[in-house]
C-alpha cells in the first residue's frame, strides 16, 4: 500500500475515511496532478481497490477512494470468498444510492481542496462504484466519469440522457447484472448522446477488470486505454511520450547504457519481440536481457529509419525500417545464428505502452521470414515470402505490387 487514509467531512457534518494515493515525485517529477475519485465495488475499499488507486496514481492522478459503506459500518474490507460475497450482497442491498452520491460529491469537493490536486477532477468506478461514477456527471462537479460494468444503470437512463460532462460506460457482454435487454435500453437511450460513449466487450463478464474467475486481460487492457483517453482528454495529465521513447531508444542503440535505460521504464516492465519471443518480464530479467543479449549485441552500423508515428492516450506506435549488417550475433532477432555478413533491411513496428511518464511495455513486430531470406537461411523460391524488397516497397509505393502472385494480371478479374 503506497498511500494512506485521510478523513473527509460529509455534507451532513460527519466524517468518513478515504484512501489517498499520490503520484510518486521521484518518478513523475511531482506528487501533484489532476484529481480522480475511485468508487469501490461492493467489497469495500479492500486491497484490490487500494491497488487500483496506486496504479491510477502512477498514471499521474491524485486519487481518493472513499469508504462508501461507512454509514452502514466504517472500514469494511471484504475478500472474494463465499462469505465475503454473501456479506457484500447484503451491504449492497442496504446501501442508499442517494446518500452514497452525497458522499461521492463530498469526496470530489475534498479532492479539489487538496494542495496536491492541480486541475480538474474525474470519477472512475467499478460494479456498484460504476453506477455511482455514472451518476457523478449529473450529481457532482466532476468533469468526466468512467463506469466499469455499472449495476442498475437502466434505472437512471432519463437522468443520464440529459446534459452533463463526458461519460464512458464499459459494458460486459456476458454480464448477468446487465443482460441483453438492459444493454439494449442503454444503447437506445444513451447511444446517440454526444457526451456518452458506450463500449461493449465481447466474451467478457462482470468484473472482467478484477483478477479472479472473470478476469479478461484483453478487455481490461483495452478498457484501460479507453479510460485513460477519456480522462486525459478532459483533465490530463499529458506526457511527452515521443521524447521519452526517443530517450529510451538512444540508450538502446546510440549511448548503449543499461542503468539509465532501465530508469525510463516502470519498476516491473516487460518487452516482447513477438516473432522470436525474446525480451523479458520484470526489472531483473529485462535488465539481464538488455545487458547480455540486446544493447551490446546490435551490429555497429545498426540504423533506425522512421516511417510513421502514432501517439495515443497510453501508447505510441512507431513504424520504421530496422537496418544492419549481420556482422555480430543478434540474439534477440536471430537467436543462435552465427553472423553471416549479409545486409538486412526490415520493416518493423513498435507498440509501446506507458504508465504515467514511464514505459510499461514494448511489443515489437517484424517479418521473420523476410529476415531469414535476407541472411540466406531461407530459400524464397516457390514461397510467398520476400526479402529486402519489403523494405524497398515501404519506402517507395510505386515499386511493383503483387510480384509473388503467379496469376496476377493487372486489369483483369479471375474467373
Contact 387, 370 (CB under 8 A): yes
Contacts 24+ apart (CB under 8 A), 254-259: 256/295, 256/296, 257/295, 258/287, 258/290, 258/291, 258/295
Contacts 24+ apart (CB under 8 A), 8-12: 8/64, 8/66, 8/106, 8/107, 8/110, 9/106, 9/110, 10/102, 10/103, 10/106, 11/102, 11/103, 11/105, 11/106, 12/102
Q: Which of 170, 206, 273, 361 is catalytic?
A: 206
206 is catalytic: yes
- Report strand pairing: 278-281 vs 265-273: antiparallel
Contact 291, 323 (CB under 8 A): no
State the distance between the two ends of the chain, measured CA to CA, in whole angstroms. 67
Evaluated on CA atoms 63, 231, 248, 29, the torsion sign reads negative
285 dihedral zone (left: phi>0; alpha: psi -120 to 50; beta): alpha
Residue 353 CA to residue 206 CA, distance in Å, equals: 26
C-alpha cell at 290: 538488455
Q: Which of 24, 54, 67, 175 is catalytic?
A: 175
193 is catalytic: no
Where in the sequence numbering do the catalytic residues fall? 175, 206
Amino acid at each position: 500500500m503506497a498511500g494512506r487514509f485521510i478523513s473527509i467531512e460529509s455534507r451532513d457534518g460527519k466524517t468518513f475515511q478515504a484512501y489517498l494515493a499520490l503520484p510518486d515525485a521521484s518518478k513523475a517529477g511531482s506528487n501533484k496532478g489532476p484529481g480522480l475519485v475511485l468508487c469501490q465495488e461492493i467489497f469495500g475499499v479492500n486491497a484490490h481497490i487500494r491497488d487500483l488507486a496506486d496504479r491510477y496514481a502512477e498514471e499521474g492522478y491524485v486519487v481518493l477512494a472513499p469508504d462508501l459503506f461507512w454509514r452502514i459500518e466504517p472500514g469494511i474490507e471484504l475478500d472474494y470468498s463465499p462469505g465475503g460475497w454473501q456479506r457484500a450482497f447484503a451491504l449492497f442491498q442496504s446501501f442508499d444510492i442517494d446518500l452514497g452520491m452525497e458522499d461521492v460529491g463530498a469526496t470530489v469537493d475534498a479532492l479539489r481542496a487538496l494542495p496536491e490536486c492541480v486541475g480538474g477532477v474525474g470519477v472512475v468506478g467499478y460494479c456498484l462504484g460504476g453506477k455511482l461514477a455514472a451518476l457523478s456527471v449529473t450529481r457532482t462537479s466532476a468533469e468526466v466519469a468512467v463506469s466499469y460494468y455499472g449495476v442498475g444503470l437502466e434505472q437512471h437512463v432519463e437522468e443520464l440522457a440529459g446534459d452533463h460532462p463526458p461519460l464512458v460506460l464499459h459494458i460486459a457482454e456476458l454480464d448477468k447484472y446487465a443482460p441483453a435487454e438492459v444493454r439494449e435500453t442503454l444503447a437506445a437511450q444513451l447511444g446517440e448522446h454526444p457526451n456518452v460513449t458506450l463500449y461493449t466487450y465481447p466474451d467478457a463478464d462482470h468484473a472482467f477488470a478484477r483478477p479472479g474467475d472473470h478476469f479478461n486481460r484483453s478487455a481490461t487492457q483495452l478498457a484501460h486505454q479507453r479510460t485513460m483517453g477519456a480522462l486525459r482528454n478532459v483533465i490530463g495529465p499529458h506526457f511527452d511520450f515521443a521524447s521519452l521513447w526517443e530517450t529510451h531508444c538512444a540508450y538502446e542503440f546510440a549511448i548503449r547504457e543499461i542503468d539509465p535505460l532501465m530508469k525510463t521504464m516502470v519498476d516491473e516492465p516487460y518487452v516482447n519481440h513477438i516473432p522470436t519471443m525474446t525480451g523479458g518480464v520484470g526489472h531483473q530479467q529485462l535488465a539481464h536481457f538488455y545487458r547480455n543479449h540486446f544493447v551490446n549485441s546490435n551490429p555497429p552500423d545498426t540504423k533506425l529509419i522512421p516511417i510513421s508515428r502514432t501517439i495515443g492516450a497510453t501508447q505510441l506506435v512507431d513504424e520504421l525500417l530496422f537496418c544492419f549488417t549481420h556482422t555480430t550475433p543478434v540474439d534477440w532477432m536471430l537467436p543462435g545464428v552465427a553472423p553471416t555478413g549479409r545486409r538486412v533491411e526490415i520493416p518493423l513496428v513498435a507498440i509501446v505502452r506507458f504508465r504515467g511518464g514511464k514505459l510499461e511495455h514494448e511489443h515489437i513486430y517484424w517479418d521473420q521470414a523476410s529476415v531469414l531470406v535476407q541472411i540466406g537461411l531461407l530459400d524464397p523460391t516457390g514461397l510467398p515470402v520476400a526479402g529486402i524488397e519489403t523494405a524497398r516497397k515501404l519506402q517507395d509505393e510505386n515499386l511493383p505490387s503483387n510480384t509473388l502472385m503467379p496469376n496476377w494480371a493487372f486489369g483483369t478479374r479471375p474467373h
